[in-house]
Amino acid sequence: MLVAVEGLDGSGKRTLTAAVVERLRADGLRVATLAFPRYGESVHADLAAEALHGRHGDLAGSVHAMAVLFALDRAGARDRLAELAATYDVVLLDRYVASNAAYSAARLHQDGAGEVVGWVAELEFGRLQLPRPDVHLLLAVPVELAGERARGRERREARTLDAYERDTGLQARTDAVYRNLAARNWYGTWWTAGPGDDPAALAARLGGVASRTIDRG
């Protein structure tokens, strides 16, 4: 079962994923994770990160060029995704195709039904043949809280905020697009979790779906 964990920068995706993984494993499920962008593994991911930190001329200025870099990073992981899906009961992805849809639409001031969202789906699920998630788990925390967490992490981990993280207007619009995609169940089932939700309860819910998938064989 493929689960895409989505949300704003600093929303807590990595933290939540780690807690859910621990719980699912304690329940005896085989669980793997993969985070996108694959920094340090994919030249496309590294170019995107460098562009968001001011390098490579006007690259970051192009919404579509940035989205293509993120998509090509994922295309480079297609075989790995297939292998993980065949080997593990649950594969948790920290960001996936919906990140490209949400951020690109927000940059272009479009909503979840906008042209660029369709373009991302056609590129990634269509042309690049990436698998569709069984569940999207949207970690919907208030924009201000996500921003505070991102800034806190910047101080603690000496990690400089990138152009998207510094842009509070973009974060607010991305939040709205994510909620819109979730409401429309864009390319699969969406679940929405809040900042107070217990990772153990989410893990139990995911474990239930995974068990039914395993039973069906």
Ligand X SMILES: Nc1ncnc2c1ncn2[C@@H]1O[C@H](COP(=O)(O)OP(=O)(O)OP(=O)(O)O)[C@@H](O)[C@H]1O
Ligand Y SMILES: Cc1cn([C@H]2C[C@H](O)[C@@H](COP(=O)(O)O)O2)c(=O)[nH]c1=O
DSSP 8-state code for residue 21: H
**Residue 70 in the binding site for ligand Y (CB under 6 A):** yes
Extract the tokens encoding 163.
């152009």
Q: Give which of 69, 124, 99, 83 is closest to 4, Cα–Cα.
A: 99
Helix (H, G, I), strand (E, B) or coil at 109: coil
**Residue 136 in the binding site for ligand X (CB under 6 A):** no
Burial-class residue 163 by CB neighbours within 10 Å (0-12, 13-18, 19+): middle
Q: Least distance from C-beta 75 to ligand X, angstroms?
A: 21
* Of 21-29, 54-62, 93-101, 180-188: span binding ligand Y (CB under 6 A): 93-101
Nearer to ligand X, 138 or 150 (CB): 150
Extract the tokens encoding 23.
């719980």
Burial-class residue 17 by CB neighbours within 10 Å (0-12, 13-18, 19+): buried
**Residue 95 in the binding site for ligand Y (CB under 6 A):** yes
Write the interaction track for ligand X spanning residues 13-32; mark x where CB under 6 A is met and - where it is not: xxx-----------------
Q: Give which of 73, 81, 19, 23 is closest to 44, Cα–Cα.
A: 73
**Residue 74 in the binding site for ligand X (CB under 6 A):** no
Q: Least distance from C-beta 101 to ligand Y, angstroms?
A: 8
Q: Give which of 189, 83, 67, 72 is closest to 129, Cα–Cα.
A: 72
Q: Least distance from C-beta 209 to ligand Y, angstroms?
A: 24
Among ligand X, ligand Y, none, partner that 7 touches (CB below 5 to 8 angstroms by kind) = ligand X
Q: Which residues contact ligand X by CB under 6 A?
A: 7, 9-15, 149-150, 152-153
Q: Which residues contact ligand Y by CB under 6 A?
A: 9, 36-37, 70, 95, 99-100, 103, 164
